[in-house]
Amino acid sequence: MKLLKILGLLLITLIAVLLIGGMLISSKFSVARSVQISAPPEKIFPLVSDPRAWKKWSVWNQRDPAMAITYSGPPSGVGAVWA
């Protein structure tokens, strides 16, 4: 019975610490990431504007090369869809 009381107090303390800590953390934050690509825009744009070319550089394709992908809309540019 004493063990259950100790575990209960530890659980309540953990929840209180998480709630109070969550209130103290600022709600305004941002994460930014950038990359410097040493190539002219003429070489990069086709790889970004055409979803069919994403297989060459997308991390999702590297993680699961057997995933099913469907394309719709125009082949590239606005409206090109990768799902």
Tens of pLDDT, residue by residue over 17-29, are 888 887 887 778 7
Predicted pLDDT at 21: 81
Q: How far is 67 from 61, CA to CA, in rounded Å?
A: 7
Predicted pLDDT at 48: 83
Predicted pLDDT at 6: 93
Cα-trace Rg, the chain: 24
Q: Give residue limits of the domains in the chain.
A: 49-83
Predicted pLDDT at 31: 86
List the chain residues with pLDDT less than 50. none
Predicted pLDDT at 15: 93
pTM value? 0.48
> Which SS3 state, helix, strand or coil, does residue 41 take?
helix
Residue 54 phi/psi, 5-degree rounding, is: -65, -20
Quick one: 64 exposed, middle or buried, by C-beta within 10 A (0-12, 13-18, 19+)?
Answer: exposed
